[in-house]
Structure 1
Amino acid sequence: MGSWVSDARKRIYRNLKYRIIRPDPPAAPFRFNSPVVVVGSAPVSHKPAGLDGSFRIITVNGSQSVIAKWGVDAPDITMMMFNQVEGTTPNAVEVRRVLTRQRTGTLYVFLWRKDDRARLEEGLRAFDYQYDRLEIVDRYERMALLDRVANLRSLEMDADSKCSNGMNAVLFALYNGAPAVIITGINPNSTGHVYNSAGLTRLHVHMDKVLVSKLVSEGRPVFTADPSVSEELGIPLWTATSR
């Protein structure tokens, strides 16, 4: 009974707050006018056909380790969950390991307290992760991405009702004008991460599949560089002639 009441109160609170504050989704540091590559951390990924310096690259958590193999020194944007900065889970520890002494353009940290920026900066210094610009994205700004871009509402009550950070990066790119979004290393059907061997089960599978299906059915400019993902999920495969 107590849990049901608590959940009901949380739903009411989040719904009212979202409606009252009417948040804008997070803005990119610049308008995207060329293809955007969103790199996830699934074990299998591919360098998109025709990738050159005009493409913008967004990495998620520890997926920056993938682009090093492509000869890319640093992504334009990195999206990171708050718990990767100080967390003690095997995944958080591995994320910090692969990001140690690396850098990015703009770093977006999700769900960190906006009134505790100094602690965030200190946590990032602890593993020497550098950035040109640091932004904190709260829950309601993240909810606004799903709402504004896909016309889907989520109060983020559990893992099944949330998108993965990879799909949030796709929404972010679309919201900020990307003429094409190419995903790689993002597969709701996969397990594990490219930067560790723990074989952890992937969260947010349900909402990611719902979102992919909606974006594809609406003809949004979303592609994948991964042939198996194209076949499994029906996402158009990016080729050298797609641009």
Structure 2
Amino acid sequence: MGSWISDTRKRIYRNVKYCLTRPAPPVAPFEFKGPVVVVGSAPVSHKPTGLNDEFSIITVNGSQSVITSWGVDVPHITMMMFNQVDGTTPNAVEVRRVLKGQRTGALYVFLWRKDARGRLEDGLRAFEYSYEHLHIVDRYERMALLDRVAGLRSLELDADSKCSNGMNAVLFALYNGAPAVIITGINPNSAGHVYNEAGLKRQHAHMDKMLVERLIKAGRPIYTADPAVSNELGIPLWNR
């Protein structure tokens, strides 16, 4: 009974706040003039065909470890969940391990308190992760991404009602005018992460699949560099 009441209050509060504040989605630090590659942390990923300086690269959490094999040291943008900065879960510990001493162009941290920026900077400094620009994205700005790009309203009450960080990066690229978005290392049907051997089950799989289907039907310019993902989800394979 208590849980039902709590969920109802949360649903009403978030819906009212979203409608009243009318938040804008996060804005990219520069114009996307070429394709945007969104790199997830699924165990299998591929360097997109034709990758060159005209492409922009967005990494998610610890997936920055993937692009070093492509000859790319610094992504243009990194998106990170708040708990990766100081969390104690095995995945958070591994993310900090692979990112230690690395850097990015613009860092977007999801769901960190905006009035605690100093603590965020200290947390990033603790594992020597540096950036040129730091942005904090709150829940309502993230909700606005899904709403504006895909026409879906989610109050983010549970894991099944949220999309993954990788798909949020796809929405971010589309919202900010990317002429093409190429995903790699993002597969809702897979388990585990490329940077550890824990084999953790992927959350948000149902929402991610629904979102991919919706974007394809809407004619959005999304592609994948992963043949298996193309076959399983019907995303066009990038081969330009």
Deviation at residue 219 of structure 1 after TM alignment: 1.2
Matches within 5 A, 1:128-139: 128-139=128-139
Residue 69 of structure 1: SS of its match in structure 2? helix
Q: Deviations over 1:158-192 (max 9, x none)?
A: 00000100000000000000000000000000000
Deviation at residue 43 of structure 1 after TM alignment: 0.1
**Residue 50 of structure 2 aligns with which residue?**
50
Alpha-carbon distance between aligned partners in 2 of 1:18 and 1:216, rounded to the nearest angstrom: 27
**Residue 106 of structure 1 aligns with which residue?**
106
Residue 131 of structure 2: SS of its match in structure 1? strand
Matches within 5 A, 1:38-117: 38-117=38-117
**Residue 10 of structure 2 aligns with which residue?**
10
Aligned pairs, number: 240
Contact 2:33 2:54 in 1 (8 A): no
Alpha-carbon distance between aligned partners in 2 of 1:203 and 1:59, rounded to the nearest angstrom: 18
Q: Deviations over 1:57-80 (max 9, x none)?
A: 000000000000000010000000
Residue 68 of structure 1: SS of its match in structure 2? helix
Q: Deviations over 1:32-81 (max 9, x none)?
A: 12100000000000000000011000000000000000000100000000
- 1:184 matched to 2:184: yes
Residue 206 of structure 1: SS of its match in structure 2? helix
Give 1:125's aligned amino acid.
R
Q: CA RMSD in A?
A: 0.4
**Residue 140 of structure 2 aligns with which residue?**
140
Alpha-carbon distance between aligned partners in 1 of 2:174 and 2:31, rounded to the nearest angstrom: 10
Alpha-carbon distance between aligned partners in 1 of 2:88 and 2:194, rounded to the nearest angstrom: 19
- 1:37 matched to 2:37: yes
Give 2:167's aligned amino acid.
M
Give 2:3's aligned amino acid.
S
After TM superposition, the runs of 4+ consecutive aligned structure 1 residues lying more than 2 A away are none
Residue 123 of structure 1: SS of its match in structure 2? helix
Q: Deviations over 1:10-40 (max 9, x none)?
A: 0000000000000000000012121000000
**Residue 214 of structure 1 aligns with which residue?**
214
Alpha-carbon distance between aligned partners in 1 of 2:182 and 2:128, rounded to the nearest angstrom: 29
Q: Among the aligned pairs, what percent are the same residue?
A: 79
Give 1:80's aligned amino acid.
M
Alpha-carbon distance between aligned partners in 1 of 2:226 and 2:102, rounded to the nearest angstrom: 26
Residue segments in structure 2 that go unaligned for 5+ positions in a row: none
**Residue 19 of structure 2 aligns with which residue?**
19
Deviation at residue 218 of structure 1 after TM alignment: 1.3
Contact 2:39 2:186 in 1 (8 A): yes
- 1:121 matched to 2:121: yes
Give 1:178's aligned amino acid.
A
**Residue 155 of structure 1 aligns with which residue?**
155
Residue 112 of structure 1: SS of its match in structure 2? coil
Alpha-carbon distance between aligned partners in 2 of 1:235 and 1:8, rounded to the nearest angstrom: 36
Residue segments in structure 1 that go unaligned for 5+ positions in a row: none
**Residue 228 of structure 2 aligns with which residue?**
228
Give 2:84's aligned amino acid.
Q
Deviation at residue 232 of structure 1 after TM alignment: 0.1
Deviation at residue 109 of structure 1 after TM alignment: 0.2
Residue 57 of structure 2: SS of its match in structure 1? strand
Deviation at residue 103 of structure 1 after TM alignment: 0.2
Give 1:210's aligned amino acid.
M
Residue 106 of structure 2: SS of its match in structure 1? strand
Output the TM-score relative to the length of structure 2.
1.00
Alpha-carbon distance between aligned partners in 2 of 1:219 and 1:33, rounded to the nearest angstrom: 19
Residue 88 of structure 1: SS of its match in structure 2? coil
Deviation at residue 217 of structure 1 after TM alignment: 1.1
Output the TM-score relative to the length of structure 1.
0.98
Residue 228 of structure 1: SS of its match in structure 2? helix
Deviation at residue 135 of structure 1 after TM alignment: 0.2
Q: Deviations over 1:125-179 (max 9, x none)?
A: 0000000000000000000000000000000000000010000000000000000
